[in-house]
Structure 1
Amino acid sequence: MCGIIGIIGKDAVTPRLIDGLRRLEYRGYDSAGVATLVNGHIGRRRAEGKIANLEARVAAEPLAGTTGIAHTRWATHGGVSERNAHPIATDRVAIVHNGIIENFQELKEELLAQGRRFDSETDTEAVAQLLTSYLERQMTPEEAMGQAMARLKGAFALVCMFAGRHDLLIGARRNCPLAVGYGEGEMYLGSDGLALAPLTKRICYLDEDDWVVVRQDGARIFNNGQPVERPITTTALSGALIGKGNHRHFMLKEMHEHPEAVSNTLRSYLDPTTRAVTPPDLPFDWKDVPRLTITACGTAFYAALIAKYWFEQLARLPVEADIGSEFRYREAPMPAGGVCIAVSQSGETADTLAALRYAKTQGQTILSVVNVPESAMARESSVVMPTLAGPEIAVASTKALTAQLVVLATLAIAAARARGTLSREREAELVAALVEVPSRIAEVLNNDDAIAAVAHRIADARDVLYLGRGVCYPIALEGALKLKELSYIHAEGYPAGEMKHGPIALITEEVPVVVVAPTDSLADKIASNLEQVHARGGKPVLLSDAAGVARLGAKAFAALTMPAVDPFVAPILYAVPVQLLAYHAAVAKGTDVDQPRNLAKSVVVE
């Protein structure tokens, strides 16, 4: 959520700061602002809504300066207003902030008692006022930040600019990402590497509780008051990767990148010539693992649920799949020798990261499946298995899901082989099925018109149900989530066998029911569910292969024919049409597809 960029530059900085904010739009926001130093004084321009509103404000009231900070805000403390938009400033300090200051009320009451006046409703202002109070006691900015770090509690990434100090920015992080960029006579700070990609490829990612003093010629990093060294990496990210190309929306572009994301990820984890999985070296033996725990949030959690089926069926390994925000508060007992897999697109999801850390305290070996190899989860894991999906700009996750499923599928195969529960012949069949997935996804994408036509027919519905069985039950959950996220239609996903335990009461002729039904061992069961929907006047939308459509299509309100695949890989393939249904329904309704209301790309606070 939110986005930060800061620059100590050589030329006018405001246009580049606004350009940096555009690269951060994918994170979700409801206001934006920029601040620079003009003749030593802090100048600010802020606006509600989209960055275009901020640009109009700056065009009407230009802002000079070569040092500045900028922010896209997603409201947490305080409503959506110019007053609460970042940067938050006093006459001495301007601050941009991602995250939540948990003890802001305590700090605010203390500062109010000192006679300080607050102008916003934000928790961020407590930091600005705290730093100002230190500066007024004749502390240097560096001393003030050192003192503040000891007082602040919560999850935050901060970048601070100080009146009269054109040569200085100070950044800090705790449970939220922050990167330092090294340029030629310039320095940068950003929420992530993508924010800085067009500016520099030399990036340093701060560790937990680091704070950094950035000047035009370099940076000094501190932790617990002591100077520390952090590696400077050369990032492969490119600003060119974030264009929409010929697609109407980033989300559509990214769905059309499913085949590439799956192919790139597959190449890292299997040998198609020998039809064998080639996982990385692991610090444990699958035969000795008593239980596997998989934790994630949102769409990544559905990948975890599918992986549970795969590991238990193929490797006969007990699996607990749990939502990160619930798992860490249960204080679940975890067995000695256990393994925990954390799944996240950003690698910064607050609840998943906290669950990962809890598992570490329980002696679990941590394996992370992330799309950002430099992320906090990756850095805190024993093993990192990257998904090679490339940057995902749209808030709703799409290609990251299929890439996550590929990694988890190859892991399940490797575990089954190590545990002696999978024959070499069946492994070859499963690998062959995985290798075919990119082509089968391309077939779905190339026949998108049929999906769009069905989506337009359900776009006016008030409620939609999604049903699935086995490994496709989580795909029903994914379809319902995407429809809610993008079109704001109420939707629920259910295991089809549970339909008669309550959801069947909702079925009327006004309710479309999307049935995810590849031809597999549970096909007869889900056929019965579809018959029950049809008998009650519901509108079944059938997703199945040619055999399934031939058998059940006559009872469906609409039928979409998918390529025939091995049931093992069906959830990877069927994730695509449910995402496309949601996309086209949202387009038909005219909602903001790439940045749905109230949502953020990276949820880095509770």
Structure 2
Amino acid sequence: MCGIIACVGPRRTVDRLVTGLENLEYRGYDSAGVAIQNGSGVEVHKRSGRVGELKEEVPLGKQADVGIGHTRWSTHGPPTDENAHPHTPSDENVAVVHNGIIENYSELRDELEAKGHEFTSDTDTEVIPHLVDERLEETGDPEVAFRETVRELEGSYAIAAIMDGHDGLFAARQGSPLVVGLDDDAHYLASDVPAFLDYTDDVMYLEDGDVVVIEEDDLSLTDLSGTPVAREVQTVDWDPSETGKGVYDHYMLKEINHQPTALSNTIQGRADPESETVQLEDFPPETFEDVRDVHFVACGTSYHAAMFGAKMLRDGGISANAYRASEYGLQTDTIDDETLVVAVTQSGETADTLSAMRQAADKGASVVTVTNVVGSTAAREADESLFIRAGPEIGVAATKTFSSQVVSLALLSQRVLGDATTGEQRDDLADFLASLQQLPEHIEQVLDFSAAKRLAQHYSNHNAYFFIGRGVANAVAMEGALKFKEITYEHAEGFAAGELKHGPLALVTDRTPVFAVFTGDEDHDRKTLNNAKEAQTRGAPIVSVAPADHPSLEFADEHLQVPSSSPEWVGLLANVQLQLLSYYAAETLSRPIDKPRNLAKSVTVE
């Protein structure tokens, strides 16, 4: 949550800070602010609201050599001007931005107030600049003051600070991401690469315990004690144009439409129908030979993708389950060296998923992460990583990353089944991989001919929206409902189809459309069809999400058509239809589609 941007070097630092904040707004948009150090003190501009409102107050074009900025997703304290970052002590000689949670802030605040420090916000962050100010007065050395402050903090943090009289930047991380961007005439620091991708694609990912001091012509990286450390400089393979909306009104619509390209990248070089092989670059033969159980851990949309992966492994004879990462330690204690834990996280920084990974590693499990971000914490901490290659996703509601996660997990499941002594790859693997290669083209067909916009407008004033399915269609139903509620703010629920009659049916009326997902799995579809008819007899309009020749069309009130394919890929095509449904419903209701209230892209606090 929240976004940090900092810049050292060019005279137009203010403009670059604001551009960085606009690029990071998917991480939080409750309030925003910048602070610059231009040789005549620390100057702060901040306010509640979005970056566009902050731009009205920031002196764009003003010369400054160093600055920090922040866009906030509220945790401690409501979204007010006072709680916006950067924070300063009373004399404003220090400015600090911070992501994470300082767990001992109450004790630190009490100590500082006893020494005469006055606080003006409700945030935990405000203790940091006051501590720096206190240590600066004691030591007279900005770097020593910063290090001593960081040593006193407990919890998770990514911190960037500037100080009056010092033409540089101080930063540290512990449990919250920070990445350095390197350019010929400037250095950048941010929570995420898109913040500075307009200026450089050479990056260095900081790790927990790192402290970086950045000056115009120098960068020093050490641990907290001052011992030098080295981090690899990498080139990010993302096109800066991918972080813009282009011709689309919203990032979400752009990312829905980008799915054929994203999936082509995900699939490339990994699936060969002719030889019936799955080739994953970082997993040599027999990597998964000793796997007995597979635990998928994930949150939100990634959890629904994990449900796909778990089902495909169970179908091949391996014990596999998907766990919500926040509940992982409470739901299973059967973790050992024959357990494979697959952590699914788009950002690679999801706090609950990282915690589950660490629990599993401590008990001897092998840990693989499926993520979109090279250099992320999950990628660095896992034994191996499978990158989904979806490219940057800016819209808060995940779309193309879900599709790429599902395909990556499908390929991973077949590799595990091919290696493990207790599992078998599917009998129709050649057809399965051939239909996978057709998936980008099939998604293009959905995008070109979808009736989702018409149906979204038709059902826009209804009371609630139910989504049902079985098997992989259950995961699609849950994901469809999540997307709908995220961006429309309407009541939407996803159910295993058989559960509809065990309570939710009491809520069904003629104002409750039911979207029934059918994948072509005859046994699952027959039962879902019966459940949909039960709802229809209570007055509910039924929308079938299914191929053109499906039996459900004989009774459904409406139809969202998808091409015929393997059941897993039909499920994924149905998901694209439900993404479009959610998008157009939110558009009809004039919702802020890319920035839904109370939500942010990366959840980096537990």
Residue 272 (structure 1) shift: 4.8
- Secondary structure of the structure 1 residue equivalent to 2:4: strand
> Please, what is the CA RMSD of the aligned residues?
1.7
Which position in structure 2 is the counterpart of 1:415?
416
In structure 1, distance between residues paired with 2:389 and 2:287: 25
Q: Does 1:116 align with 2:117?
A: yes
Q: Deviations over 1:344-403 (max 9, x none)?
A: 110001110111111110111111100001100001111110011000000000000110
Which position in structure 2 is the counterpart of 1:457?
458
Which position in structure 1 is the counterpart of 2:130?
129
Q: Does 1:39 align with 2:3?
A: no
Q: Deviations over 1:100-127 (max 9, x none)?
A: 1111111111111111111111111011
- Secondary structure of the structure 2 residue equivalent to 1:241: helix
In structure 1, distance between residues paired with 2:457 and 2:426: 46
One-letter amino acid of the structure 1 residue matched with residue 458 of structure 2: R
Which consecutive unaligned segments of at least 5 residues does structure 1 have? none
Which position in structure 2 is the counterpart of 1:8?
8
Pick the aligned partner of 2:312 from 307, 310, 320.
Answer: 310
- Secondary structure of the structure 2 residue equivalent to 1:586: helix
Which position in structure 2 is the counterpart of 1:163?
164
Q: Deviations over 1:452-497 (max 9, x none)?
A: 1011122222311111111110111001100110000011111001
Which position in structure 1 is the counterpart of 2:351?
350
Residue pair 1:369, 1:404 contacting (<8 A) in 2 also: yes
- Secondary structure of the structure 2 residue equivalent to 1:508: coil
Which position in structure 2 is the counterpart of 1:70?
69
Listed as ranges, the matches of 1:197-596 within 5 Å are 197-225=197-225, 226-282=227-283, 285-314=287-316, 316-330=317-331, 332-419=333-420, 421-422=423-424, 426-448=428-450, 450-521=451-522, 522-548=524-550, 551-596=551-596
Q: Does 1:55 align with 2:55?
A: yes
One-letter amino acid of the structure 2 residue matched with residue 402 of structure 1: S
Residue pair 1:466, 1:476 contacting (<8 A) in 2 also: yes
Corresponding pairs, count: 600
- Secondary structure of the structure 2 residue equivalent to 1:24: helix
One-letter amino acid of the structure 2 residue matched with residue 348 of structure 1: E
In structure 1, distance between residues paired with 2:140 and 2:234: 33
Change over 3 Å in CA distance of 1:364–1:244 after alignment to 2: same
In structure 1, distance between residues paired with 2:199 and 2:292: 47
Which position in structure 2 is the counterpart of 1:180?
180
Change over 3 Å in CA distance of 1:483–1:424 after alignment to 2: closer
One-letter amino acid of the structure 2 residue matched with residue 195 of structure 1: A
Which position in structure 1 is the counterpart of 2:151?
150
Change over 3 Å in CA distance of 1:423–1:28 after alignment to 2: closer
In structure 2, distance between residues paired with 1:209 and 1:194: 23
Higher helix proportion (structure 1 or 2): 1
Residue 331 (structure 1) shift: 6.6
One-letter amino acid of the structure 2 residue matched with residue 485 of structure 1: E
One-letter amino acid of the structure 2 residue matched with residue 533 of structure 1: A
Residue pair 2:294, 2:321 contacting (<8 A) in 1 also: yes
Change over 3 Å in CA distance of 1:55–1:423 after alignment to 2: closer
Which position in structure 1 is the counterpart of 2:86?
87
Residue 38 (structure 1) shift: 3.3
Q: Deviations over 1:396-425 (max 9, x none)?
A: 000001101111101111222334754686
- Secondary structure of the structure 2 residue equivalent to 1:579: helix
Change over 3 Å in CA distance of 1:135–1:458 after alignment to 2: same
In structure 2, distance between residues paired with 1:76 and 1:451: 36
In structure 2, distance between residues paired with 1:322 and 1:435: 29
Which consecutive unaligned segments of at least 5 residues does structure 2 have? none
In structure 1, distance between residues paired with 2:291 and 2:304: 23
Which TM-score applies when normalising by structure 2? Answer: 0.96
Q: Which runs of 4+ in 1 moved over 6 A?
A: none
The percentage of counterpart residues that share the same residue type is 38
Residue 28 (structure 1) shift: 2.7
One-letter amino acid of the structure 2 residue matched with residue 21 of structure 1: L
Q: Deviations over 1:219-276 (max 9, x none)?
A: 1112241221111112223322211111111000000011111111111422355342
